[in-house]
Structure 1
């Protein structure tokens, strides 16, 4: 064999070995498959605060303008050139975060990760999940699911009556505030069958679901994966009078899937951030999130164990990504309502992120007797702010079961949160000139334990009738020395009663004419603290009446005049 042939064979062998070695090297896979890449800056960016219309909707800009909030550097998107450079390595960019200045990616390729780390504009890269493959949707039903109920309630609210009147939400509805013009962004794990459930028939027919977006697997619909979102949505958006009505039946909604239902991974916090930013960009007024993060799935490899868990010290409002984002969302003029979590009886015990964020409403749970539900997460935040901020019905709360169409009782702060969020939207609708922080303050001040907050109830059970009056410059001291106030005098077809009671009870109001004949009797359940009752008196003729009001184990008589 001549020397030339030997050289050729040697060269071929070297080439084949190189190709073989390259294929092995490029095939090296990482155990983690999702990463968050953080950038050093937003330099060389084509976007600027001078032209916010390029990246924020007109509705988003109007919300800022109405509250004198300026567009700033946090609003500017991530530098597109940085994202393009990362994408050029072959990884999949799932989404970016302008608030945290980062991108979340999906890849198996360790060489691509090494390449990304070497970019001068990359400050760090965190592994956030070992999920593979990207979750796929479970098929939803295509046929309309009829409404089924455990029992029928003849009131307007049907089965939803007690959980709404317990927080005096009916007072807002009676004034015509049912969420019209308000946009609520729901962040959850999926909305199985929400496109066919009868409780959402009115919502669908009026086009009340403005858009949907999946941040876990962008190629998939949100109508699947989990029943949870359908149940939380039903607490707000259901609208079947006499059967089941929610707290904001006329609001508009966006459904944003940010939760990985199959496990618990740090990437879900980044999903939450991306969803909140999207809600901001399209102009949402309210974010409701029945999600929380503290303990994650432990990751075991052949040589190592990775624990991502938060500590209670992290619940200080400025450590976890989703809590930082929740506070930024508030700074952008939105109201964030987040569940306190269901760890009250567990070793964790406390609230979970992002409910520790500043200037949001962390919502805990009470039962039908307004008593603290033992599963509801405890405060305070790690930096000793009062948490939870407010309470609503979360034990034995009526919501829809997405698989069966049954409206029945369920437990969890997952359900007290949307119940409160819907009424927050109605309250803001009633007071459109107020800022998000003014609305939040009024809701807190309406709480049953506002004057003496504690770690389980926070500021206490919400009272939206009281919050409504507070925003209208109502003087709290007017009820300090008397449990009943009646106005206006004289009245037309509506008579307002402010009632302050010490325990849940039935209050009775009897109207008699000047001859002593009983003309009208009204009975209604009232709850501890302030109650605002709106009595319809259309059936009363003009004249002088004597009203006997019975509550607090006493009766008082008042002369009232209908004109």
Structure 2
């Protein structure tokens, strides 16, 4: 019996320094943000065992057992080797896919659809971006959320306001009109005033869209590295019936055949949108690859910017909201479609432009899809 007690005491004393080392290191070493996903129910106690304190938890997700936490390199490695942990990855940075200066509305048959009474009424579109200027005279923002804790209705970058205008600028004889002027736009702020954000922020924005019953998510943003956790959130949104639309990226293509599509557009559950000009030529900056699914106007696109102003930008960021707006028009016209059926319809009725590597299924066509 004495030998057994000595053994237990020895094991306990051996365990204490291990846990203390994580706690001590966590106080002194440099930390970075990580996304940690449990392989099963989330257990805060396990995080605590690795020295993670409550102040280290940036965000706790509720749709998946995921935490955005600050960790030292040692903590991250320790968690990664734990059998109860599914993923541990650094919180990668994302950038808006904008370059510079919308003739695009009639080009995607948005005007023809509007003239026949299809304006996207009742369809909820979440704009995951830099916020949307809700005070703009040409926009009607139905709601929103900011991962930064500030107002989603202040757009210090202008990118999100421009994207929102392409989707749903009002038909009010002012400025411009969007593809689906009666769609409900929601400002989900995941990028800061410099147009930067993180994969954790995007995931948090997607989760908000799921929790708030959005129909369409537009993501005119992305990064060059993949993320298992971000993919799971995009997949989850699609599984929950949301149509996910994302800019393919502005990395062009090297020697004409290298795959340059960014993330999250590259995930199978998202529609990757390429950019074309007024002559239906692929924009030189538009990323190419097998994941490109559909094309839309992305050169010299005029839309709303903060301060009741308007400007023209280039980018696949500008192409993506054309597709989101068309999706709103078609879904309002055909409300019984599932998101999978809607996606298939948009692809089947697109105007073929050539190589699928560059254009996907071609130029999205709203009235063609509604009339199909």
**Structure ranking higher on relative contact order (CA contacts 8 Å, 6+ apart):** 2
Matched, 1:461 2:363: yes
Q: Which moved more, 1:95-104 or 1:248-257?
A: 95-104
Q: 1:111 to 1:292 in 2, by over 3 A?
A: closer
Q: Deviations over 1:286-311 (max 9, x none)?
A: 000101110xxxxxxxxxxxxxxx3x
Distance 1:117 1:356 in 2: 25
Tell me what 2:352 maps to.
Answer: 449
Q: Deviations over 1:178-216 (max 9, x none)?
A: 12111111111333xx1332222xx1xxxx422x2222x
Q: Do the aligned partners of 2:31 and 2:73 also contact (CA within 8 Å) in 1?
A: no
Distance 2:36 2:210 in 1: 22
Matched, 1:229 2:166: no
Matched, 1:256 2:164: no
TM-score normalised by structure 1 residue count: 0.54
TM-score normalised by structure 2 residue count: 0.79
Distance 1:458 1:119 in 2: 41
Q: Do the aligned partners of 1:189 and 1:260 also contact (CA within 8 Å) in 2?
A: yes
Tell me what 2:97 maps to.
Answer: none
SS at match of 1:466: helix
SS at match of 2:161: helix
Tell me what 1:291 maps to.
Answer: 221
SS at match of 1:337: strand
* Structure 1 residue 26 displacement after superposition: 6.8
Tell me the number of residue pairs that the alignment of Structure 1 and Structure 2 aligns. 340
Q: 1:27 to 1:436 in 2, by over 3 A?
A: closer
Which of 168, 171, 176 is 1:244 aligned to?
Answer: 176
Q: Do the aligned partners of 1:190 and 1:230 also contact (CA within 8 Å) in 2?
A: yes
Q: Do the aligned partners of 1:178 and 1:249 also contact (CA within 8 Å) in 2?
A: yes
SS at match of 1:198: coil
Q: Deviations over 1:152-187 (max 9, x none)?
A: xxxxxxxx5x31111111232123221211111111
Which of 282, 296, 304 is 1:372 aligned to?
Answer: 282
Tell me what 2:301 maps to.
Answer: 397
Q: Do the aligned partners of 2:26 and 2:52 also contact (CA within 8 Å) in 1?
A: no
Distance 1:123 1:439 in 2: 33
SS at match of 2:138: helix
Distance 2:50 2:195 in 1: 27
Q: Deviations over 1:380-412 (max 9, x none)?
A: 1xxxxxx3211111001111232x543232101
* Structure 1 residue 126 displacement after superposition: 3.4
Matched, 1:350 2:283: no
Tell me what 1:31 maps to.
Answer: 30
Distance 1:424 1:124 in 2: 33
Which of 328, 333, 337 is 2:245 aligned to?
Answer: 337
Distance 2:50 2:134 in 1: 37
Tell me what 1:102 maps to.
Answer: 66
Distance 1:367 1:378 in 2: 15
More helix by share: 2
SS at match of 1:36: strand
Q: Deviations over 1:209-239 (max 9, x none)?
A: 22x2222x2x322314422111111112211
Gaps of 5+ in 2: 1-20, 94-100
* Structure 1 residue 91 displacement after superposition: 2.7
SS at match of 2:303: strand
* Structure 1 residue 127 displacement after superposition: 3.5
Map of 1:78-117 to 2, 5 A cutoff? 78=42, 89-98=53-62, 100-106=64-70
Which of 337, 344, 357 is 1:434 aligned to?
Answer: 337
Distance 2:247 2:324 in 1: 10
* Structure 1 residue 87 displacement after superposition: 10
SS at match of 2:160: helix
Q: Do the aligned partners of 2:108 and 2:326 also contact (CA within 8 Å) in 1?
A: no
